[in-house]
Amino acid sequence: MWFRKIFTFIFVCLIALLSARDMPAAAMWLQSDALAVVNNQTITLNDIDPRVREMVEKLESEIAEAQRYVLEQEIMGLLFQLEARRRGITPARLLELEVTRRLTDPAPDIIQAIYDANRAQFGTLDLNGARPQIVAYVRRESEQKLLTELAARLRTRFKVVMGAKINSPNLQPGTTLATVGGQPLTAASAIERLKPIIYDLRVRAYEAQKTAVDQRVYSLLVLEEARKQGVAPEVIIRTEVNDKLRSPSEEEIQKFYEENKARINGDPDSLRVQITNYLEQQEQARIESAHSEKLRAAANVRIMLKEPEPPTLAVSADDDPSRGALRAPVTVVVFTDFQCPSCAANHPIIEETIKAYGNRVRLVIRDFPLEERHPQARKAAEAANAAHAQGKFFEYAELLFKNQKSLDIASLKKYATDLGLNRARFDAALDGGVFIAEVSHDIMEGLLYGVTGTPSVFVNGRRISTFSEAALRAEIDRALAQKTNSPATSQGKTKSITPP
pLDDT tens digits for range 197-229: 999 999 999 999 999 999 999 999 999 999 999
- At 222, give phi and psi (nearest 5°): -65, -45
Answer yes or no: are the C-beta atoms of 411 and 390 closer than 8 Å: no
Tell me which H or E stretch contains 94.
helix 91-98
What pLDDT is recorded for position 420?
96
Burial class (CB in 10 A: 0-12, 13-18, 19+), 124: exposed
Three-class SS of residue 463? Answer: strand
Give the number of other CB atoms < 10 A from CB of residue 167: 14
> CA 330, 331, 332 angle in degrees (round to 5)?
120
pTM: 0.75
Answer yes or no: are the C-beta atoms of 321 and 393 closer than 8 Å: yes
Q: Which of 347, 409, 351, 340 is nearest to 380 (CA)?
A: 409
Answer yes or no: are the C-beta atoms of 196 and 14 closer than 8 Å: no
What pLDDT is recorded for position 390?
97
Q: Give the residues across from 184 on adjacent strands.
A: 179
What pLDDT is recorded for position 262?
64
- At 440, give phi and psi (nearest 5°): -60, -40
Answer yes or no: are the C-beta atoms of 27 and 56 closer than 8 Å: yes
> CA 415, 421, 424 angle in degrees (round to 5)?
100
- Gap between the Cα atoms of 477 and 481, Å rounded: 6
What pLDDT is recorded for position 475?
95
Q: Would you give the end-to-end CA distance of the chain in angstroms?
A: 12
Answer yes or no: are the C-beta atoms of 26 and 60 closer than 8 Å: yes
Q: What is the DSSP letter of 410?
A: H
User: Which ranges of the chain have pLDDT less than 50?
Assistant: 1-32, 485-500
Q: Which of 24, 30, 36, 20 is nearest to 53 (CA)?
A: 30
Q: What is the DSSP letter of 45?
A: G
Amino acid 421 reads: L
Categorise residue 104: left if φ over 0, alpha if ψ from -120 to 50, beta otherwise. Answer: beta
Q: Which of 68, 91, 89 is nearest to 151 (CA)?
A: 91
What pLDDT is recorded for position 24?
38
Q: Which of 50, 55, 58, 49 is nearest to 23 (CA)?
A: 58
What pLDDT is recorded for position 5?
45
- Gap between the Cα atoms of 455 and 440, Å rounded: 17
- Gap between the Cα atoms of 251 and 257, Å rounded: 10
Answer yes or no: are the C-beta atoms of 272 and 253 closer than 8 Å: yes
Produce one character per residue of 243-281: b if its CB has 16 or more CB atoms within 10 Å, e if not. Answer: eeeeebeeeebeebbeeeeeeeebeeeebeeebeeebee
Answer yes or no: are the C-beta atoms of 57 and 30 closer than 8 Å: yes
Domains and CATH numbers, the chain: 2-196 (no CATH), 201-303 (no CATH), 322-491 (3.40.30.10)
Answer yes or no: are the C-beta atoms of 189 and 498 closer than 8 Å: yes
Beta carbons within 8 Å of 468's beta carbon, 6+ residues apart: none
Tell me which H or E stretch contains 199.
helix 188-229
Long-range contacts of 44-47 (CB under 8 A, 24+ apart): 45/209, 47/216
What pLDDT is recorded for position 12?
38
